[in-house]
């Protein structure tokens, strides 16, 4: 009898704990989410209407918990999505307000995505660099201002850092190169100034580094070429100067190199035209000297845009040995001499060759 009663009491306790573990999110996580919500205003879709009740792990739009720890792990709020809530409203998202530092109390957060809401402003809370499990930070497409937190490099698990299309100012923090797990870095279309850290190549996991449309100046660090996995490097629309490091042409997987619209000078390294690079845009710089006569069977370009520079000399003969050149543009330079016949020149239009000193032959005037 006593045994049975004890058993029942025990079962009751187990049930109480189990239901607390299954249903509840921790009160501190819930409080942090409500403080985060209070600093934002989303007038058209009502995504935050679901953020009510005690269990923030169930039914709160965009919130995911770790199933074992019952702690908030992911916040995914995208202003452009296929979610039915958007289809019903027949519009994309718009949200104002700012990102509350209360978010930093979610110390099990692994992913924070607040992207494409157009109107979220204010700074990235500096305390974000104290979130030890953060792997994915995406604040693309808002009006985030201020600087990238100086000690962002503490986020040792961070794999994705997407801050494109915002109003971020200041420099690339020196600690950034300590992000040894970073795979995707997208800082495009902000107002970031200063130089690219010389030791950028420390980030060995990086596969995409996108910086276009900022105000970066100084030289392109040669250490980029130490990043074995780097496949996409976009430095276009900045104020970079100095030469193109020769080592960029020797990288094993670099496929896209966009350096257009900068103040880059010096000559085109021969390594660049016989490399793995398939999209090479050097347009609108101050590059001089000849187009290297170093094309070969490894040369396979979907885009080779050398327009608006100060290139001199002939179109090199070896270009005929390239396996493929889809789009070629050498217009607005100081090139001279006959345009070679045959592939890849037979499908190109005059606009690819115009405004040089004395290029001639098809598709321009006969020599």
Binding site for ligand NAG (CB under 6 A): 153, 165-166, 174-175, 178, 189, 213, 236, 260-261, 281, 283-284, 303, 305, 327
**Closest approach of Cβ 35 to ligand NAG, in Å?**
26
Closer to ligand NAG at the Cβ: 42 or 260? Answer: 260
CB 205 within 8 A of CB 230: no
Provide, rounded to whole angstroms, the least separation between the CB of residue 95 and ligand NAG.
Answer: 13
Q: Tell me 98's DSSP state.
A: B
Which is nearer to ligand NAG, 100 or 281 (by Cβ)?
A: 281
Distance CA(311)–CA(145), nearest Å, equals 40
CB-neighbour burial class of residue 6 (10 A; exposed 0-12, middle 13-18, buried 19+):
exposed
Nearer to ligand NAG by Cβ, of 280 and 339: the residue is 280
Round to whole Å and give the CA distance between 147 and 308: 34
Shortest gap between Cβ of 329 and ligand NAG (angstroms)?
Answer: 6
CB of 127 to ligand NAG, least distance (A): 16
Residue number with CB closer to ligand NAG (166 or 238): 166
**Nearest alpha carbon to residue 124 among 104, 142, 148, 143:** 148
Q: How far is the CB of 319 from ligand NAG (least distance, A)?
A: 17
Give the whole-angstrom CA distance, residue 279 versus residue 282. Answer: 10
Q: Which residues of 189-205 are buried (b: 16+ CB within 10 A; e: fewer)?
A: bbebeeebbeebbbbee
Q: Which residues of 29-40 are buried (b: 16+ CB within 10 A; e: fewer)?
A: bbebbeebbebb
Between 32 and 113, name the residue whose CB sits nearer to ligand NAG. 113
Nearer to ligand NAG, 58 or 171 (CB): 171
CB closer to ligand NAG out of 25 and 282: 282
The total of other beta-carbon atoms located within 10 Å of residue 128's CB is 22
Contact between 312 and 337 under an 8 Å Cβ cutoff? The reply is no
Between 208 and 284, CB nearer to ligand NAG: 284
Q: How many Å apart are CA 213 and CA 244, to the nearest integer?
A: 19
Task: Tell the smallest beta-carbon distance from residue 208 to ligand NAG (Å).
Answer: 16
Closer residue to ligand NAG in complex, CB, 79/153? 153
**Which alpha helices (H) appear in the chain, and where do they start and end?**
2-23, 27-38, 84-89, 270-273
Give me the least distance between CB of 235 and ligand NAG, in Å please. Answer: 12
198, 183, 192: which is closest to 165 by C-alpha?
A: 192
Q: How far is the CB of 218 from ligand NAG (least distance, A)?
A: 18
- The secondary structure of residue 74, as a DSSP letter, is E
Strand order through the sheet with 310-313? 288-289, 310-313, 334-338, 358-360
Residue 70 or 284: the one with the smaller Cβ distance to ligand NAG is: 284
Rounded distance, CA 23 to CA 5, Å? Answer: 27
Shortest CB 327 distance to ligand NAG, Å:
5
CB distance 256 to 232 below 8 Å? yes
The CB-of-168 to ligand NAG minimum distance in angstroms stands at 10
Give the integer Cα–Cα distance in Å for 113 and 88. 22
């Amino acid at each position: 009898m006593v045994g049975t009663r004890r058993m029942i009491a025990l079962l009751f306790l187990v049930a109480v704990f189990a239901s607390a573990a299954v249903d509840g999110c921790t009160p501190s996580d819930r409080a942090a989410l409500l403080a985060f919500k209070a600093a934002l205003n989303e007038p058209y879709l009502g995504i935050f209407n679901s953020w009510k009740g005690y269990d923030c792990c169930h039914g709160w739009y965009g919130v995911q918990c770790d199933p074992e720890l019952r702690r908030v792990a992911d916040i995914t709020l995208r202003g452009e999505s296929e979610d039915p809530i958007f289809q019903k409203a027949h519009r994309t998202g718009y949200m104002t307000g700012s990102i509350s530092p209360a978010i930093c109390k979610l110390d099990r957060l692994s992913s924070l995505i607040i992207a494409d809401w157009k109107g979220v402003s204010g700074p990235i809370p500096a305390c974000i660099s104290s979130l030890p499990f953060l792997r994915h930070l995406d604040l693309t497409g808002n009006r985030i201002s201020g600087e990238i937190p100086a000690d962002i490099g503490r986020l040792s698990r961070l794999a994705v850092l997407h801050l494109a299309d915002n109003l971020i100012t200041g420099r690339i923090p020196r600690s950034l190169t300590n992000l040894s797990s970073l795979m995707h870095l997208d800082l495009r279309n902000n107002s970031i100034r200063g130089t690219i850290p010389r030791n950028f190549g420390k980030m060995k996991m990086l596969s995409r580094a996108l910086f276009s449309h900022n105000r970066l100046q100084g030289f392109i660090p040669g250490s980029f070429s130490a990043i074995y996995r780097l496949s996409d490097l976009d430095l276009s629309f900045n104020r970079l100067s100095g030469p193109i490091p020769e080592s960029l042409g020797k990288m094993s997987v670099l496929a896209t190199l966009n350096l257009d619209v900068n103040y880059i000078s010096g000559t085109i390294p021969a390594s660049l035209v016989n490399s793995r690079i398939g999209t090479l845009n050097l347009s609108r710089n101050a590059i001089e000297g000849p187009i290297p006569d170093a094309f070969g069977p490894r040369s396979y370009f979907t885009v080779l845009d050398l327009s608006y520079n100060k290139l001199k000399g002939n179109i090199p003969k070896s270009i005929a040995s390239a396996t493929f050149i889809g789009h070629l543009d050498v217009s607005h330079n100081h090139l001279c001499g006959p345009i070679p016949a045959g592939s890849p020149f037979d499908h190109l239009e005059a606009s690819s060759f115009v405004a040089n000193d004395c290029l001639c032959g098809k598709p321009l005037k006969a020599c």
